[in-house]
Amino acid sequence: MNEQNKRKFALWIYPQTLKKIEEIYKQDNCQSQSEFIEKAVTFYLGYLSANKNMNYFPKAISGVVDGIVSGSENRLARLMFKQAVVLAKLCKLLAIAYNFDESEYSKLHYECVEEVKRINGYIKIEKPDKWSDE
* Nearest residue to 91 via CA among 105, 77, 80, 81: 105
Residues ≥6 apart with Cβ < 8 Å to 116: 123
Statement: residue 101 has pLDDT above 50: yes
Question: What is the per-residue pLDDT across 15-24, written as a single tens digit (0 to 9) for each?
Answer: 999 999 999 9
Question: What is the per-residue pLDDT across 20-54, written as a single tens digit (0 to 9) for each?
Answer: 999 999 898 899 999 999 999 999 888 887 666 66
100 burial (CB, 10 Å; 0-12 / 13-18 / 19+) is middle
What's the pLDDT band for 63 if we cut at 50, 70, 90?
Answer: confident
Distance from C-alpha of 95 to C-alpha of 101, rounded to nearest angstrom: 8
Statement: residue 100 has pLDDT above 90: no
81 or 115: whose pLDDT is higher? 81
Contact 28, 36 (CB under 8 A): yes
Region 78-92 average pLDDT: 90
Per-residue model confidence (pLDDT) at position 134: 45
